[in-house]
Amino acid sequence: MEYPGGGVSMTQFIFTFLNGITLAGLYFLVASGLTLIFGLMRVINLAHGAFYLLAGYVSWTIADKTDNWFYGALAGSLTLGVFGTLVYVLLLRKFQYEELRVALITLGVSLVLAQAMLAIFGGEYYQTNIPKNLSKSVPIPGFELSYPFFRIFVLILAILVAVGLWIFISKTRYGAIIRAGVDDTSMVSALGINVQAVFIWIFFLGSVLVGFAGAVGATTNSFGMGTDGDYLLFSLQVVIIGGLGSIGGVAIGSFLVGVIGQFATGYFPTYAGIITFTMLILVLAFRPQGILGRKQ
């Protein structure tokens, strides 16, 4: 990410931190869908990055045709919700507990999607226009500087989604059914609960979230071929560092990957990739369940 201000070191520090926490918000939105699908259902969806990119293309197309960002975001979210659910029902449900087979199937889906998107949209990079009512800048108190409001809006969205998911998973009956269904499918089914229907809804919700993240991310940053792989890696980093199935863990993982990654890029660009992946390796080595994850 470029620094909107630049200049003196304090200015660079402030913008690096702001870029880090707002990027963390985007990472959380992307990884929240993965933590439902991978963290709760234990479905290794290697097409997650391709889902993100597809949502970016859909939202950009609709927003460009209608000149309405919100229509584009809605179209991207719903399209991915339906598409992701179809992938689960038609290709994954039968093999849900065969991890290697699921990983290979979703990898194949990712490759097919990548080639289809390349054929339709070409190798160019796109970026959705920021809505006019969100395109202003916000002054930073104590400095003669301002920061793009849309990036702050992304962080606010991420916080709202985090709170909503935490309440849904931890405090509702439906969330309890989901957690129990993953831990002991047979027992929950014996209670008369249609666990498969629950899993379908979870996959739909996870796909909607990555679709919404694709719409938001397509506005924050340019996107094109290769973006799918980048965001798949970011999402896996966040979920693994934070802990599978933990919303709080994903929030912490997003913050660490976003902020540390931005400071590494700003101050040690040659070693940025090394620093973030070293953090992932250390977590896997010393706390394999993640920061807030539970032992399996």
> What local confidence, expressed as pLDDT, does residue 5 receive?
43
Does residue 246 lie within any of the structural domains? no
Does residue 249 lie within any of the structural domains? no
Task: Report the length, in residues, of the chain.
Answer: 296
| Measured distance CA(218)–CA(139) in Å, rounded | 24
Q: Can you tell me which residue has the tokens 């040690």?
A: 268
Does residue 243 lie within any of the structural domains? no
Domain with 24, as residue range(s), is 9-226
> What local confidence, expressed as pLDDT, does residue 94 receive?
86
- Cβ atoms within 10 Å, residue 103: 14
Digitized pLDDT (tens) for each residue of the chain, 296 residues in all? 444 444 447 778 888 899 999 999 999 999 998 888 887 777 889 999 999 999 999 999 999 999 999 999 999 999 999 999 999 999 998 888 788 999 999 999 999 999 999 999 998 999 999 988 888 888 887 777 788 999 999 999 999 999 999 898 888 877 777 767 666 666 766 767 777 788 888 899 999 999 999 999 999 999 999 899 999 999 999 999 998 778 889 999 999 999 999 999 888 888 888 888 899 999 988 988 888 876 65
Angle, nearest 10°, between helix axes 48-66 and 69-87? 150
pTM reported for the whole predicted model = 0.90
Distance of alpha carbon 212 from its chain centroid, rounded?
9
- Based on the structure, what is the number of domains in the chain? 1
Does residue 232 lie within any of the structural domains? no
Q: Are strands 145-148 and 137-140 parallel, antiparallel or unpaired?
A: antiparallel
| SS3 assignment for 230-244 | HHHHHHHHHHHHHCC
Provide the Cα torsion 6, 7, 9, 15; round to 10°: -20
Q: Which two tokens stand for residue 148?
A: 């793009």
> What local confidence, expressed as pLDDT, does residue 114 receive?
94
- Cβ atoms within 10 Å, residue 89: 15
**Phi then psi dihedrals of residue 223, to 5 deg:** -145, 155
Using alpha carbons, select from 152, 130, 129 the residue that is nearest to residue 139.
Answer: 152
Burial class for 35, CB neighbours closer than 10 Å (0-12, 13-18, 19+): buried
In the chain, the amino acid numbered 7 is G
> What local confidence, expressed as pLDDT, does residue 243 receive?
86
> What local confidence, expressed as pLDDT, does residue 108 receive?
95
Does residue 143 lie within any of the structural domains? yes
Does residue 132 lie within any of the structural domains? yes
Contact criterion met (CB below 8 Å) for 27 and 255: no
Q: Which two tokens stand for residue 255?
A: 């913050």
Does residue 293 lie within any of the structural domains? no
226: left (phi over 0), alpha (psi -120 to 50) or beta: left
Does residue 266 lie within any of the structural domains? no
Strand partners, 223: 126
